[in-house]
Amino acid sequence: MADKDKQQEKEQDSLDSILASHMQERKKQLYRHSLPAKRTLKEMLALRTQAELDDLCYNLMVEGVSKRKKAELIDVLVPAVEAFAKKWFPTALDEQFAFFTHLSEKEGALSLEVRDDDVHLDYLHAIGLIGCGVKEDKLAWYMPEEVLAVWKSINSGAYRSLVELNTEAARLAAGILYYYGYLDYETLFERVMNYLEEAQREQFTVRDFVGVLLNAASWETVIVPVHDGMKYYTVVDEEVLDHERRKREDLVYAPITYSEAYDAGDPNFILATKAYKDLAQYLVRTCGKSVMEAAFIVGEVGNIFQNDDKLKHVTDYLGDIGVMTEKNAELLKQLILSYHASIPLWRLKGHTLKSLRHKEGAAGSLVPFPNREHRKHKKIGRNDPCPCGSGKKYKHCCLNKEDGHRR
């Protein structure tokens, strides 16, 4: 146990060293920038390297410029950034709004009061909306004149309301994906719209919604865009997940209240069920883990169950990190299985094993696979047992949920 603890400490120290080195290199790159005499887009871009301009072309999807010289690239990028700003600002979130408000209120739209370790700003810098340079031995951030003009033209009371709506919708989407794992854009849009008031829904199209989510995914790492939708950041393979869910056509998605979705949309959200707490507290009290270490380990166990669902892979993981031993294996397995039963599983469309009370399952899998051979095309009567396995009549269980989804 002691040897494994030392190995873990060594690996953590190595990771911390890599992260520190990365941040140091990042600061070095930022601090090499100087402030332009005039804070225009052309002057700002002229101070960027060829590689940075190429990256900006890629980020803004500017095509046909691969062989152009730096001066030619700048001529193309100036109107491209300005046009992009007009499309991007309507997708802004609360934190972004606060940052641009802060810059716009400073003389010359330049601030020395922004922390140089805020990696969020790398995103805004990479899409050309802000520039940076050293002033008075500090890193200054600024808005180019053309971007500032776009900001002033759009900033109003109505725009502030739009930003609030964007932020709410993005957080609800992240919360929904916490429970479901992955959804295509259309389905995710419909589910988020169900939470909003009619006046709010009228402000949003699917296109607007996708733009907000793509911005949110670049700002935070909670949701990740895939070719036709969004997934929660811990989903390993959304295609495998979608395939698993299609095996359960009779199972409706678990209902999620507004509060549940909104709370789960917080990047630091933890669904602290009793089973979660029991497992985490065991790791702290018996295995000598800190609260943060215990939270991380339980989170990893949950991720394995969500993506793989093999108990052996969980026990192997706990053995590898020195938590599971022959002495505590049985007790720890019981805690793990109890925790597993309390997790809203993506492949079960957000239901927990405990809530479904399934009794039949596939060999080698902890998630029961419904036996659908005899009911694949069978119409379910209102007074028949509910196919979800709750033991209730269909009319008192999932019929109402399905009607609710149709509405």
DSSP strand pairing (229-232 vs 110-111): unpaired
DSSP strand pairing (229-232 vs 223-226): antiparallel
Task: Please indicate, yes or no, if residue 313 is contained in any of the structural domains.
Answer: yes
Cα separation, 109 vs 111, in Å, equals: 7
| pLDDT one digit per residue (tens) for the chain, 407 residues | 556 555 556 655 566 678 788 888 888 888 888 899 999 999 999 999 999 999 999 999 999 888 888 999 999 999 999 999 999 999 999 999 999 999 999 999 999 999 888 999 999 999 999 999 999 899 999 999 999 999 999 999 999 999 999 999 999 999 999 999 999 999 999 999 999 999 999 988 999 999 999 999 999 989 999 989 999 999 999 999 999 999 998 999 999 999 999 999 999 999 999 999 999 999 999 999 999 999 999 999 999 999 988 899 999 999 999 999 999 999 999 999 999 999 999 999 999 999 986 544 433 344 443 333 333 334 556 555 554 444 455 555 555 544 544 44
Cα separation, 67 vs 70, in Å, equals: 10
Task: Please indicate, yes or no, if residue 247 is contained in any of the structural domains.
Answer: no
Asked whether residue 52 falls in the same domain as residue 67, the answer is yes
CA distances from 190 to 163, 209, 329 (A): 20, 10, 45
Last residue of a domain, one of 211, 237, 263: 237
C-alpha closest to that of 65 among 85, 83, 49, 56: 56
pTM over cut 0.95:
no
Asked whether residue 145 falls in the same domain as residue 172, the answer is no
Asked whether residue 73 falls in the same domain as residue 93, the answer is yes
For residue 306, the tally of other CB atoms under 10 A from its CB is: 20
End-to-end C-alpha distance for the chain, whole angstroms: 56
Last residue of a domain, one of 106, 131, 154: 154
Asked whether residue 168 falls in the same domain as residue 232, the answer is yes
Residues 6+ apart with CB under 8 A from 230: 173, 177, 182, 183, 185, 188, 213, 217, 223, 224
- Chain CA centroid to CA 311, Å: 26
Asked whether residue 118 falls in the same domain as residue 207, the answer is no
Task: Please indicate, yes or no, if residue 365 is contained in any of the structural domains.
Answer: no
Task: Please indicate, yes or no, if residue 252 is contained in any of the structural domains.
Answer: no
Count each helix (H run) and each strand (E run) in the chain, helices first: 19, 6
Asked whether residue 168 falls in the same domain as residue 219, the answer is yes
Domain range for 139? 29-154
